[in-house]
């Protein structure tokens, strides 16, 4: 059995330890093979069912009828982190949630990506003020973040755009056309 967890005594702040996870280098490091698997990874990003605060509502809305993240193959919300690829940190990371969050991140198997959704996850958002004691100011203090999606909350389109950015990060190119105003 693992060592018993230290219980928090009242008044003692939870530790803000960085996530430790080690990823082995690929056994077969050939360019076409990597390109092929990267393409497949980008096209099936399964997120963890992991919502922390109000931004999670936007994540749910992004997977439902009007916005439908399923079109890009990213709708399989896995309850177990072992089978997921993408962690959307949607919402306020409190100090108490920091430990489970880090543990969940460490439990994900290797090609794993993190999207910080909303101002809270990026920098503490509206909860950042002098003398605040409860909120982690930015989830990147705990785990490495790949894509930041700003907004309070970000619109579902922004979350979709974050998924595209992660796909771009994996494969090196953008796959879907830009909106008309942005393209011109």
Partner 1 sequence: MDLSLAIFVQIIAAVLLIIALMVGNAVVMVYMERKVAGFIQRRPGPYEVGPWGTIQAICDSMKLLAKQLYRPGNVDLILYYLAPVLAFFPVLLLFLPIPFGPWLTALHINEGIVLILAFAGLGVLSNLLAGWASNNKFSLLGAARAVAQTVAYEIPMILALLAVVFLSGSMDLKRITEQQGQWPWEWNILLQPLAFFIYLVSLVGETNRAPFDLPEAESELTAGFHTEYSGMGFALFFLSEYANMLLVSFVAAVFFLGGYKGPIADGFWWLFIKAYAVMFFMVWIRWTFPRVRFDQLLNLNWKWLLPLGLLNLWATAIIMKIFL
The nearest distance, CB 87 to ligand SF4, in angstroms, is: 15
d(CA 86, CA 83): 10
Q: CA nearest 48: which of 78, 68, 7, 23? A: 78
Q: Check binding of 65 to partner 1 (CB under 8 A).
A: yes
d(CA 130, CA 132): 6
Q: Check binding of 57 to partner 1 (CB under 8 A).
A: no
152: helix, strand or coil: coil
Rule CB under 6 A: which of 13-52 touch ligand SF4? none
Q: Give which of partner 1, ligand SF4, none residue 110 binds (C-beta under 5 to 8 Å, depending on kind).
A: partner 1
Q: Give which of ligand SF4, partner 1, none residue 65 binds (C-beta under 5 to 8 Å, depending on kind).
A: partner 1
Partner residues linked to 151 by β-bridges:
none
Residue 142 contacts residue 93 (beta carbons within 8 Å):
yes
What residues line the site for partner 1 (CB under 8 A)?
1-2, 23-24, 36-37, 39-41, 43-44, 49, 64-66, 68, 70-73, 75-76, 78-80, 82-83, 85, 107, 109-111, 175-176
């Amino acid at each position: 059995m693992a060592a018993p967890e230290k219980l928090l005594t009242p008044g003692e702040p939870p530790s803000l330890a960085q996530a430790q996870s080690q990823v082995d280098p690929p056994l077969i490091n050939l360019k076409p093979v990597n390109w092929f698997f990267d393409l497949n990874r980008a096209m099936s990003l399964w997120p963890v069912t992991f919502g922390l605060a109000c931004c999670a509502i936007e994540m749910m809305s992004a997977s439902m009828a009007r916005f439908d993240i399923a079109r890009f193959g990213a709708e399989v919300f896995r309850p177990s982190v072992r089978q997921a690829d993408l962690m959307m940190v949607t919402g306020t990371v409190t100090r108490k949630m920091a430990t489970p969050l880090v543990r969940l991140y460490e439990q994900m198997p290797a090609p794993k990506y993190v999207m910080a959704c909303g101002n809270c996850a990026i920098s503490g958002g509206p909860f950042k003020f002098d003398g605040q004691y409860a909120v982690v100011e930015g989830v990147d203090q705990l785990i490495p973040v790949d894509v930041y999606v700003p907004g309070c909350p970000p619109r579902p389109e922004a979350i979709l755009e974050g998924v595209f950015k992660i796909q771009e990060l994996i494969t090196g190119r953008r796959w879907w056309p830009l909106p008309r105003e942005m393209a011109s």
